[in-house]
Chains A and B, each alone.
Chain A
């Protein structure tokens, strides 16, 4: 099977395609392919939502307006009201912004030839830092600086134990943005690598048939039908993953806001 011998080189080439390269300027000042598609996603999001606001009427008409309203109400009911609780109205704009931004970026990346803006660790780290600063800000606003720092550890236990729990809680607090960033980045990156691997397998197995048509090569090309079927299934799963990752990021941000604002936990 010479197809399997060629595979490692092709996979290495595929992985190297995912490193950030500058399309304008250089890597310090300029656009990488990820930030280019990030800007495209931002423009698409602006156009979508401005068109939505312009078309909005008291009674919604049409697929587009109803569709956007359905997603907005999903964020409002499931994430903001369901997780944050009574103060959901103040946090709903931030949560909806994060949700729509990640959702549009993930879906942009699923169109062949385009890259997801969230497929670069820098972008997801910036998003995670935003939600980190956001929930710490609202925790401090609610409890005051000293109040927030002491509210990290639950009350009602002896002092040495409380200090010990406080240290653990601070550690888990600092881990939150890191896990948020890595979860989103790994899902986007790994999903595209897996899809690319199966596309490479399909083309490697079919290559002898394209060069020379005979019975042996046709039999050798049969597995590529299976690879293409798996590729299509993984592509459909990636649609679910794109939605679920936007949802997970938003829900976790809402949970952290709720924890930061709760009286004593």
Chain B
């Protein structure tokens, strides 16, 4: 059951990383000169979202 719960929880993290990638790519396409800065922000944002998924993973393993 815990694994199913983790699968449900990771939907949110996946959506968040997808949204971050969407924003990064569309901003890079509109303004190619901000590519470096946008990529840093994208990595930061997806690290935050990924952390939420990983918290679910660790809680699944521990419980």
A interface, CB within 8 angstroms of B: 15, 78, 179, 182-183, 185-187, 189-190, 193, 244-245, 247-248, 251
Choose one: A15, A189, A193, A244; the contact of B47 (CB below 8 Å).
A244
Q: Assess whether B29 is interfacial by the CB under 8 Å rule.
A: no
16 residue pairs A–B, Cβ–Cβ below 8 Å: A78-B40, A179-B51, A183-B47, A183-B48, A185-B58, A186-B51, A186-B54, A186-B55, A186-B57, A186-B58, A187-B51, A244-B43, A245-B47, A247-B44, A248-B47, A248-B48
A59 to chain B, nearest CB (A): 27
List A contacts of B1 (CB < 8 A). Answer: none
Contact B55 A182 (CB under 8 A): yes
Q: Mark each residue of chain B from 37 to 61: 1 if its CB lies under 8 Å from any CB of chain A, else 0.
A: 0001001100110110011011001
Residues of B within 8 A of A190 (CB): 54, 57-58
Contacts of B50 in A (CB 8 A): 187
- Interface size for B (C-beta < 8 A) is 12
- Residue of A at shortest CB range from B50? A187
Assembled-state Cα–Cα distance A179/B48 (Å)? 10
Q: Which residues of A contact B55 (CB under 8 A)?
A: 182, 186
A234 to chain B, nearest CB (A): 13
Cα of A176 to Cα of B2 in the assembled complex, Å = 27
- Whether B54 and A187, one on each chain, are in contact in the complex, defined by CB atoms closer than 8 angstroms, is yes
Of all chain A residues, the one with the shortest Cβ separation from B40 is A78
Query: A247–B43 Cα gap in the complex (Å)?
Result: 10
CB nearest neighbor in B for A188: B54
Residue in A15, A78, A187 with the greatest tally of chain B CB atoms within 10 Å? A187
| A78 contact set on B, CB distance < 8 A | 40
Distance A244 CA – B48 CA, assembled complex (angstroms): 11
Bound CA–CA A15/B63 (angstroms): 12
Determine the chain B residues whose CB is within 8 A of the CB of A183 once the complex forms. Answer: 47-48, 51
Chain A residues, Cβ within 8 Å of B47 = 183, 244-245, 248
In the complex, A15→B60 CA distance in Å? 11
A193, B61: Cβ atoms under 8 Å?
yes
The complex places the Cα of A193 from the Cα of B58 at a distance, in Å, of 9
> Assuming A182-B55, A185-B58, what are 5 further A-B pairs, CB within 8 angstroms?
A179-B51, A182-B51, A183-B51, A189-B58, A244-B43
A193 to chain B: closest residue by CB: B61
A247 to B16, CA, bound (A): 20
C-alpha gap A78/B37 in the complex (Å): 10
Contacts of A245 in B (CB 8 A): 47
Chain B hits for A189, CB < 8 A? 58
Across the interface, do B51 and A15 meet the contact criterion of CB distance under 8 Å?
A: no
How many Å lie between the Cα of A231 and that of B6 in the bound state?
Answer: 21
Residues of A contacting B54 with CB < 8 Å? 186-187, 190
Q: Are B44 and A248 in contact (CB under 8 A)?
A: yes
Q: Specify which of B44, B51, B58, B61 is in contact with A251 (CB 8 Å cutoff).
A: B44
Determine the chain A residues whose CB is within 8 A of the CB of B57 once the complex forms. 186, 190, 193
The CA-CA distance from A15 to B2 in the complex, in Å, is 15
List of A residues within 8 angstroms of B58 by Cβ: 185-186, 189-190
Which of A15, A185, A247, A248 makes the CB contact (< 8 A) with B61?
Answer: A15
